[in-house]
Structure 1
Amino acid sequence: MNLRKWFNLFWQTLCIGGIASLLTGLILTTWEYKPSSTADFLLYLLILFGAGMMISVYSQLGFFAYLILNYMGRGTFSIKTWNYIQLALTILALLELMFFRIFMEHSNTGFTDMLLSLIILMTALVTAYFKVKATNSNALIPTLFFMIALTIVETIGVLNIGENAATTFTVIPLLACNTYQILMLHRIVSRTDFKAKELT
């Protein structure tokens, strides 16, 4: 582990967030946005890319919060107990996203919440598969916890807006950034110093 590796991860994640936001924004506004000039279109692309970079910073804050939480959890509980806690929190977060607004707020967002939950779950499962393949089975539960619970926490703000387009524009870059960071973690952390194969 060194500052150069974290710096590289930071800029790479910024670019991934920007690209994901750029593609998502273009797809969402294909039939709506009509640029008046080339300069106007280039400015629009720059705004989309910049928004994605801001979302990636939010994702990285969540990533570092997860690392601190994981460090504290492993220092407080046994690895087996901490894994059970992470699994329970992951399930609760997924159920909260699926049903909380329906039952507690009498909202009509049941279908969109279920769809969002399914997208996050499937992304987490695919990410966990590649993470386990690259490291070992100990990475399964921590990866699912980060990809599901932390992603849901990061999307709470945009969910309160209640706009599907805004949710899509935020969640896709978040998932892209979170996936990249968790898959890169074992490559940038020294195994001898921090036992990366057990960290995630």
Structure 2
Amino acid sequence: DMIIPKEFLKTINRSGLGFAAFAELRYENAIDVATIGAEVAIPNKDFILNKEGYDGGKTEILIVGDNFGCGSSREHAPWSIGDMGIKCIISTSFADIFYNNCFNNGMLPLTLPRDQVEVLIEDSSVPGTEFTVDLVNQKVIRANGESFSFEIDAFKKNCLVNGLDQIGLTMEKLDEISSFETERSAKFPWLDGAAMRVPDVVKMYPDAQFWSQEPVSA
């Protein structure tokens, strides 16, 4: 996995993985970094994100090649890229699982036609070049004012614009959830688990006769 090597996949914490992103490309001694830590890292001077103008968290938009994220199905991949300070990834295409994991972790992966991606790559070859990703209006705006439109699923867009993850989406429905649980408890009290508000006798079907409350002997 070129986004984050397997040695870094043992943690379940999403923060603190920025140093591990692209480790095999980013460091001369990736194995030492994986076993000891970032403090022993020897940067590969030829790697773009180690070059002046792109390093030190200055890069927020990553422009990448085709089918980006292929083989990086674990959430550690977007965790590590996001922890570097990347907020948006632009490509011609993405691997499906990686693509959805980006949205689930607050990062925008957007696709553009190849010719437009190549224009942006050419723009970004000059350190310090800035362009804007306008999610609300679904446009990538170059420094010269030219813009490229992109498509995005309306639901995913709403989640990013409003900062909603899966927990946040659930919290938006608290009133409906509470109402449902109240109604369910009234109709089916025996489903309340530990509360065990089970009626003394329960008919198995509408015309069933209740079992005798007296012990049954054979």
Structure-1-length-normalised TM-score: 0.20
Q: Please state which structure has a larger fraction of its residues in strand.
A: 2
Structure-2-length-normalised TM-score: 0.19
The higher-RCO structure (CA 8 Å, 6+ apart) is 1
Structure having the higher Rg: 2
